[in-house]
Amino acid sequence: MCRGGRRLPGLIPVSGVVRSVAELVAAARGGERRAVARLLTLVERGGALADEVAERSWSALGGTPDESADGRRAHVIGVTGPPGAGKSTLVAGWMIRLVERGCRPAVLAVDPSSPLTGGAILGDRVRMADATAAGVFIRSIATRGHAGGLALAVPGMVRVLELGGFDPVVVETVGVGQVEVDVASAADTVLVVVTPGMGDAVQANKAGLLEVADLFAVNKSDRPDAADVRRDLELMLDLSGLTGHHREGVNDRPSITSTVATTGVGLGELADATETHLVKLSAAGILGARREERWRSEVRSHLDRLLLDSSHHLVNGLIRGSLMTGDAASYGTSPAAVARGLALLLAEQMTEHLDGVVEDDR
């Protein structure tokens, strides 16, 4: 019997054709899936090549946040909700219906990376086997240290899929709790998936996730208490109407679709609801504004990352230097005050450090 790992000689010969970013972008525009996949990898890895992909795909798409000359901007739909709500199963069944309607959908499915090892188990394809067979392009993404329910590279990866002619592009977030609402600034339409058993009407009225929804799906609606969830959501939306609380520029009450993802109940309606939402956004002149906001949000998240990266080891150094050397006096001051003092030091050091980072990137 075999015991342990065996490494055998006789490896597969290298046969890959090496292509430049420009060639890959051209092939992706022609709809070549493998070129799309490789561009997604480059964007995900970051650095100079990712910048080149970003620049080339941005200009190939017309260089504006909204409509491009050749109409290659996809409807970007964010799908979010708690872990185990059935997001992947729902997306799979829904995408199959879109293929039947003649669409060419793609899915970016995000799962969390381990904060300890950086590893991840990306399990969304398990629920999406039928969608793959139907021709839906699916890419699994690990968060790679990014908080907020998405990965830093997601907006850039969406653009690569748009370039490849996929429409709509669905971004499925990690299973989220209450405050991971990044998806709201990364999509045209946000679908929040909820299920029976998530709490009472007070939960539904807490701030956070439910506020960013353009649409709701009550999944697992064959469960007995599904009607209660629907009622709580309706009540929550009534109160939003009462206080005039809604996302900027949208006066529409989010629609609620009852679904059973495992049997396909409600998926056609869901497809209708998302299409209707896009039409309404467009007719109300809000779509362009949302896409401009997406662009600004992407700039912000890249800036955040640059600042975080450059501040991280400086912060560690400062904390070690001032707090860990047994300086008992520090402990007599409040943590917030110590932090403010350190922030001033940090600002000075970061300017120098950031110059270095930007140089390295060239």
Partner 1 sequence: MSKSPEEVGGFKNHPPIRVVLAKLGLDGHDRGLKVVARMLRDGGMEVVYLGLRQTTETIIDAVEQEDADVVGISMLNAGHLTLGPRMVGALADAGLDVPVVIGGIVPDEDLPALVDAGVAGVLGPGASADEVVACVVAAADSRG
User: Which residues contact partner 1 (rule: CB under 8 A)?
Assistant: 1-21, 24, 33-34, 37-38, 40-42, 44-45, 48-49, 113-114, 117-123, 125-126, 129, 132-133, 137-140, 142, 144
**73: helix, coil or strand?**
coil
**133: helix, coil or strand?**
helix
CB atoms within 10 A of CB 132: 14
CB atoms within 10 A of CB 351: 10
At residue 107, φ and ψ (nearest 5 deg) are -125, 130
Instruction: Please state the closest distance from residue 262 (CB atom) to partner 1, in A.
Output: 16
Amino acid at 7: R
Nearer to partner 1 (CB atom), residue 94 or residue 137: 137
Amino acid at 146: H
Instruction: Please state the closest distance from residue 13 (CB atom) to partner 1, in A.
Output: 8
Nearer to partner 1 (CB atom), residue 13 or residue 71: 13
Instruction: Please state the closest distance from residue 165 (CB atom) to partner 1, in A.
Output: 15
Nearer to partner 1 (CB atom), residue 123 or residue 208: 123
Instruction: Please state the closest distance from residue 20 (CB atom) to partner 1, in A.
Output: 6
Nearer to partner 1 (CB atom), residue 4 or residue 244: 4
Instruction: Please state the closest distance from residue 120 (CB atom) to partner 1, in A.
Output: 5
- CA pair distance 236, 64, nearest whole angstrom: 36
Nearer to partner 1 (CB atom), residue 22 or residue 179: 22
Q: CB-based contacts of 97: which residues, under 8 Å, 6+ apart?
A: 267, 268, 271
Instruction: Please state the closest distance from residue 99 (CB atom) to partner 1, in A.
Output: 14
Nearest partner of 272 among 199, 352, 215, 211, judged by Cα: 215
Instruction: Please state the closest distance from residue 16 (CB atom) to partner 1, in A.
Output: 5
Nearest partner of 187 among 270, 95, 297, judged by Cα: 297
**114 and 178 in contact (C-beta within 8 Å)?**
no
Instruction: Please state the closest distance from residue 19 (CB atom) to partner 1, in A.
Output: 6
Q: Which residue's structure tokens are 């001051």?
A: 333
- CA pair distance 171, 139, nearest whole angstrom: 10
Nearer to partner 1 (CB atom), residue 154 or residue 273: 154
Nearer to partner 1 (CB atom), residue 165 or residue 196: 165
Q: CB-based contacts of 185: which residues, under 8 Å, 6+ apart?
A: 293, 294, 297
66, burial (CB in 10 Å: exposed 0-12, middle 13-18, buried 19+)? middle
Nearer to partner 1 (CB atom), residue 163 or residue 226: 163
What is the enclosing helix (H) or strand (E) of 141? strand 137-142
